[in-house]
Amino acid sequence: MNMIYGKGASGGIAAGILKIIRRERPAVREETCTDVTAETAKLHAALAKAEDELDLLYGEAVRKVGEKEAAIFEIHRMMLTDEDFVTEAENFIRNGHSSAATAVRKAGTALAEIFGAMEDDYMKARAADILAVSERVTDILGGCGGEEGRTITVTQPSVIAAHDLTPAETVMLDRKMVLGFVTEGGSAMSHTAILARTMDIPAIVAAGEIPDRYDGCPVVLDGNEGVLYVEPDEGTESRFAEAMREAEDERRRLERFRGKTCVLSDGTRVSVAANVGSLADIDEAMRCDAEGIGLFRSEFLFMGRTSPPTEEEQFEIYKQAALKTNGRECVIRTLDAGADKQIGYLTGDAHEANPALGLRAVRLCLAKPELLRAQFRALYRAALFGNLSAMIPLIVLPEEIREVRAVAKAAQESLQAETAAFGKLRVGIMIETPSAALLADRLAPMTDFFSIGTNDLIQYTMAADRENPAVAYLTRELPESVRRLIRSVCAAAGREGIPVSVCGELAADVRETKFLVEAGVTKLSVSPPGVLRVRESVMREASRLVPVSR
């Protein structure tokens, strides 16, 4: 038995055959150019194509790992427009007469070296992101675009080994085939490691050289301790087999909550629904026993294209969503573009100083009411086929609800004028800002339900960027200020008799289940794999909760 030591990046145990991935990349050559203008144009065309690729990758990542972890690809997209990076590359072309590909490599390497020399481990890890971005652009310049060429495939369930994995390669891993991974380089603070933890893939990083002769050998990967056992002896295999049996026992324990209903002692039902971004995700949510869809992110219908989806295209998607949920409620969030979800043909080329506080979500839709009207027409038509609701993001004022209601009414009237068939649609709003929370008593009579988006509510309340580690201490635990806002929102909803759900990451945090249910939340919407664990938590807490007075 041989042992390779690294750093545990994602906990868990994997046992199988080791598959070593050695990717052949084109040799880095110094290339020059004679036409600076043409080469600069090539650079900007490649940057634009890379932005489109990352938009698509962001959508895929949200479906697989959620909005928070998918934000890495939005960060990568922003790096493509970073003035330091772009200007440096342009200077290499202009002053050094480098080709666009050579200029991008040089600019990426120079910036990566700056980050790599920093003392802070998190900032050091960003060097890998810069190199991943520059590699993507040089691939495009070399005629190799898209994720197909970057996707790692294996033909049998395996533990994979590589020098390193990019975040894009990691999020595209086939979880059924990749049991775990070990990398020679990398960092436990890297986005690759963060994605591995989110995807529940046991992983080790910084393991040093892994000899090619180990390819095909049986291995056990211990992501908790950061050790790879090559050709493990009988005792080691037995010890880890027991640990894996315990993990399987936990899975079976959670299965006991399949089909269960959570009811408080006062008869209030608390449901556990799923957050999704595609029709395929709804299938997965139903397999995971979700009690409906608490958040369908419709913006992904708008991404990766050059114009908005037509009403008919949207209608077909929403109709299938309604049918797939089989009578359970399916809540469609209306277009939530802008901020971290830039859509070029809608948001334009203007770069807002602070896009999180700019023209986004309902603000963008009210500025382009034809978009919202078409979406409402499609939703009303699809509501004939199931239990559909619409949810409006980033409401901050009552006036916005009145404007949205006017657009919805115009959509109904236009369908009536055409004698087109349509169904009933409940319209709720997301509570994502302190303004909406503080005005909940005024907003409640104007809407059919509240859904608290805790990711943004925490960020806006604490004035702290969720992706900035320097201020992570402000959001590491649920702040008391946010707890008070959630309680007041639930109280206002209770007085008006409308339900409250939580669809942010807080819904999946079983440490906070008791607080949320006691506050008056009646629906928790989480990623599909978390449904049974959250239901277990609700049922455990429900057995000893004091009923919430309405």
Longest dimension (CA), the chain: 79
Listed in sequence order, the DSSP H helices in 357-433 are: 361-367, 369-382, 398-417
Q: Where are the domains of the chain?
A: 2-21+152-244, 36-148, 255-542
Triad 182, 216, 20: Cα angle to 5°: 40
Q: 255-542: same fold as 36-148?
A: no
Q: Are 13 and 240 in contact (CB under 8 A)?
A: yes
Task: Give pLDDT, residue 388.
Answer: 97
Return phi, psi of residue 470, to 5°. Answer: -65, -25
Nearest to residue 274, comparing CAs of 262, 286, 264? 286
CATH of domain 255-542: 3.20.20.60
**Other beta carbons less than 10 A from residue 445's beta carbon:** 13
CATH of 36-148, one of 2.60.40.420, 1.20.1250.20, 3.40.50.410, 1.10.274.10: 1.10.274.10
User: Residues of 475-509 as b/e, b for ≥16 C-beta within 10 angstroms?
Assistant: beebeeebeebbeebbbbbbeeebbbbbbbbbbbb
- List Cβ neighbours of 5 (8 Å cut-off, separation of 6 or more): 207, 226, 227, 228
User: Would you name the residues annotated as active-site residues?
Assistant: 191, 503
DSSP result, 375-395: HHHHHHHHGGGS-EEEEE-S-
DSSP type of residue 275: E
Collapsing DSSP states into helix, strand and coil, what is residue 267? Answer: coil
Other beta carbons within 10 angstroms of residue 391's beta carbon come to: 27
492: left (phi over 0), alpha (psi -120 to 50) or beta: alpha
Check residue 45 and give its pLDDT: 92
pLDDT tens digits for the chain (550 residues)?
Answer: 899 999 998 988 999 999 999 876 555 567 778 788 998 999 999 998 998 888 888 888 887 787 777 878 888 888 888 777 888 899 899 887 789 999 998 888 888 888 777 665 666 777 888 888 898 998 888 877 666 656 788 889 999 999 989 899 999 998 889 999 999 988 877 889 888 988 889 999 999 999 999 999 999 999 988 999 999 988 888 888 888 888 788 888 888 999 998 888 788 899 999 998 888 889 889 989 999 999 999 988 887 678 899 999 999 999 999 999 999 999 999 999 876 666 777 866 556 777 778 888 899 999 999 999 999 999 999 999 999 999 999 999 999 999 999 999 999 999 999 999 999 999 999 999 999 999 999 999 999 999 999 989 999 999 988 667 678 788 878 999 999 999 999 999 999 999 999 998 899 999 999 999 999 999 999 988 889 999 999 988 766 655 444 3
Residue 447 CA to residue 362 CA, distance in Å, equals 15
Domain spanning 2-21+152-244: CATH superfamily: Phosphohistidine domain (3.50.30.10)
